[in-house]
Amino acid sequence: MSKKILILGGGYGGLLAALTARQHLSASEAQITLVNRFPTHQIITELHRLAGGTIGEKAVSLPLEKLLKGKSINLVIDTVTEIKPDDKKVLGASGSAYTYDALVVALGSETAFFGIPGLQEHSFVLKSVNDANRIRAHVEAELDAYKKTGDKAHATFVVGGGGLTGVELVGEFADKMPELCRAKGIDFNDISLYVVEAAPSILPVFPPELVQRAVESLSKRGVEFITGVAITERTPTTVSLKDGRTIETHTLVWTGGVQGHPAVANSGLEVNRGRATVTETLQSTSHPDVFLAGDCAVVFPAGSERPYPPTAQLAWQMGELVGYNLSAYFKGGKMEAFEPVFSGTLGSLGRKDAIGTIGANQIRLKGLPATLMKEASNIRYLSHINGLFTLAY
Residues taking part in catalysis: 168
Q: Min. distance of Cβ 4 from ligand NAD in angstroms?
A: 32
Asked if residue 363 lies in contact with residue 207, where contact means CB atoms within 8 angstroms, the answer is no
d(CA 326, CA 216): 48
Regarding 10 and contact with ligand NAD (CB under 6 A), the answer is: no
- Which one-letter amino acid corresponds to residue 367? G
d(CA 49, CA 51): 5
* Binding to ligand NAD in span 193-232, by CB under 6 A: 196-199, 205, 230-231
* Binding to ligand NAD in span 27-46, by CB under 6 A: 45
Asked if residue 158 lies in contact with residue 247, where contact means CB atoms within 8 angstroms, the answer is yes
**CB of 91 or CB of 373, closer to ligand NAD:** 373
Task: Give residue 300's Cα distance to chain centre.
Answer: 20
Q: What is the DSSP string of 355-371?
A: EEEETTTTEEEESHHHH
- Which one-letter amino acid corresponds to residue 199? A
d(CA 36, CA 52): 26
Q: Min. distance of Cβ 164 from ligand NAD in angstroms?
A: 3
**CB of 1 or CB of 341, closer to ligand NAD:** 341
Regarding 346 and contact with ligand NAD (CB under 6 A), the answer is: yes
Q: Min. distance of Cβ 272 from ligand NAD in angstroms?
A: 16
**CB of 150 or CB of 262, closer to ligand NAD:** 262
**CB of 91 or CB of 112, closer to ligand NAD:** 112
d(CA 324, CA 22): 9
Site string for ligand NAD, 111-130 (x = CB under 6 A): -----x--------------
Instruction: Convert 175-194 to b/e letters by CB count within 10 Å (16 or more is b).
Output: bbbeebbeeeebeeeebbbb
The only residue of 347, 349, 358, 392 in contact with ligand NAD, by rule CB under 6 A:
347
Shortest Cβ contact with ligand NAD: which residue? 163
With CB under 6 A as the rule, give the number of residues binding ligand NAD: 27
Q: Min. distance of Cβ 210 from ligand NAD in angstroms?
A: 13
Q: Min. distance of Cβ 340 from ligand NAD in angstroms?
A: 13
The only residue of 39, 207, 274, 309 in contact with ligand NAD, by rule CB under 6 A:
309
Q: CA dist 28 to 164, 194, 353, Å?
A: 43, 56, 49
Q: Min. distance of Cβ 269 from ligand NAD in angstroms?
A: 22
Q: Min. distance of Cβ 276 from ligand NAD in angstroms?
A: 17
Regarding 311 and contact with ligand NAD (CB under 6 A), the answer is: yes
Asked if residue 385 lies in contact with residue 67, where contact means CB atoms within 8 angstroms, the answer is yes
Regarding 164 and contact with ligand NAD (CB under 6 A), the answer is: yes
Reference 124, options 225, 255, 235; nearest CA is: 255
Regarding 161 and contact with ligand NAD (CB under 6 A), the answer is: yes
Regarding 158 and contact with ligand NAD (CB under 6 A), the answer is: no
Regarding 373 and contact with ligand NAD (CB under 6 A), the answer is: no
**CB of 186 or CB of 198, closer to ligand NAD:** 198
Asked if residue 124 lies in contact with residue 253, where contact means CB atoms within 8 angstroms, the answer is yes
d(CA 158, CA 250): 9
Q: Which helix (H) or strand (E) holds 290?
A: strand 290-292
**CB of 11 or CB of 163, closer to ligand NAD:** 163
Regarding 59 and contact with ligand NAD (CB under 6 A), the answer is: no
The three state secondary structure string of 54-82 is CCCHHHCEEEHHHHCCCCCEEEEECCEEE
- Which one-letter amino acid corresponds to residue 283? Q
Regarding 162 and contact with ligand NAD (CB under 6 A), the answer is: yes
Reference 7, options 28, 31, 35; nearest CA is: 35
Q: Min. distance of Cβ 227 from ligand NAD in angstroms?
A: 9
Site string for ligand NAD, 250-279 (x = CB under 6 A): -----xxxx---------------------
Strands across the sheet with 3-8, in order? 73-77, 30-36, 3-8, 102-105, 290-292
Interface residues with ligand NAD (CB under 6 A) are: 45, 116, 160-166, 168, 196-199, 205, 230-231, 255-258, 309-311, 345-347
